[in-house]
Structure 1
């Protein structure tokens, strides 16, 4: 082998060894990152209060009226207040009665200001606007006892029970009537939030 070929082979061999040495110690720029997505679900939360309500011995709260007479107007203002940390919500009130017949219930009148408040056939009243945190809604502010009630009602006791229910506004579409007024929540089961 000629001297030129030996030098060329030696240079090539040294270049190969240098490449292997450099390649073995070669560092790469790398990076790794992790995103831990924290998902906290919201809630709908509100309270139902009434001016002058009192705690009773049986654990309930409300107002008691005594010596009521036919034609009398009773101040009663069930008021929903959406919590400050609540999500936007639709609201409905469910009003039921104990101690009255269906006919007697139909004779009671409920007013908010001068406007009569009516409930659907199942005793529901649907708030038509979406409520936002800290919003309040008064269902009615007075109940009028019928003037047609006579001696058959003497010493009769009855209850007006008001329950408020809330459902998130986002991703929920309530049922509406032909005029576009909310009149149902479909088959949704409402559960109490214990937060």
Structure 2
């Protein structure tokens, strides 16, 4: 970033299944969920939603939700779940990522010994579109960072839905009553972030470092 002037950054995040408090004044221009702010230096807006389903994971035909769904888990059953980021119209070129947090990790690893893998319970995940760049454990949760394979620009264009992170959750048939009881509080939280590409010379690591430092000072 050139030292001759200060580059104002536009950042945005959207959350599915997680309630987050509104942030105070930041050094970077920020936006969250569907709260709209107009800036003369440009704007970056995203939306994160998924199809509305009943507790058995069947689409209800009622559209999409930004509040997430509740599921009644049964062995051998597949539940529709398609977390999708939409880059809103007239957004500046931006890097996009999703952060997925899964709790009950110790129980999941024990049930799916020698350890749970994404393709064990998630279907429709395309690693060529959403690249897994980081995986870490925080307490009894596992946090995954997925980055979209390219920057997205919708300046003078309509809103653009990206490919979903995955399309369904599949519960294996071998799970017992004891196994299912351990998953009674299973929760998958997904958060989407975007930060403008300008000023980072195509360096996604540099961009996300700036994002994380701003959001977690």
Give the TM-score category using the shorter length.
Answer: 0.5 to 0.7
User: Can you list the C-alpha shifts for 1:137-192, whole angstroms capped at 9, x where unaligned?
Assistant: 111111222334323323322110000111112232335xxxxxxx7855223467
Q: CA deviation at 1:131?
A: 1.5
Preserved contact between residue 43 and residue 92 of structure 2 (Cα < 8 Å): yes
| Secondary structure of the corresponding residue to residue 116 of structure 2 | helix
Q: CA deviation at 1:109?
A: 2.7
Aligned match for 1:64, one of 70, 79, 82: 70
TM-score, length basis structure 2: 0.54
Count of residue pairs the alignment pairs up? 140
Partner of 2:147: 126
Partner of 2:48: 48
Distance 1:189 1:129, change over 3 A: closer
Residues 171-182 of structure 1 aligned to structure 2 (within 5 Å)? 171-172=199-200, 173-175=202-204
Partner of 1:74: 79
Aligned match for 2:91, one of 74, 86, 94: 86
Instruction: Please tell me whether Structure 1 or Structure 2 has the larger radius of gyration of its CA atoms.
Output: 1
Distance 1:186 1:41, change over 3 A: closer
Distance 1:147 1:79, change over 3 A: same
Cα distance in 2 between the residues matched to 1:158 and 1:99: 6
Partner of 2:13: none
> Looking at both structures, which has the greater relative contact order when contacts are Cα pairs under 8 Å and sequence separation is at least 6?
2
Distance 1:184 1:148, change over 3 A: farther
Hey, which of these two has a bigger chunk of strand by percent? Answer: 2
Aligned Cα RMSD in Å? 3.0
Cα distance in 1 between the residues matched to 2:149 and 2:87: 15
Residues 153-164 of structure 1 aligned to structure 2 (within 5 Å)? 153-155=179-181, 156-164=184-192
Partner of 2:116: 106
Structure 2 segments unaligned to the other structure (5+ residues) = 1-38, 55-65, 137-143
Cα distance in 2 between the residues matched to 1:112 and 1:149: 21
Cα distance in 1 between the residues matched to 2:84 and 2:186: 21
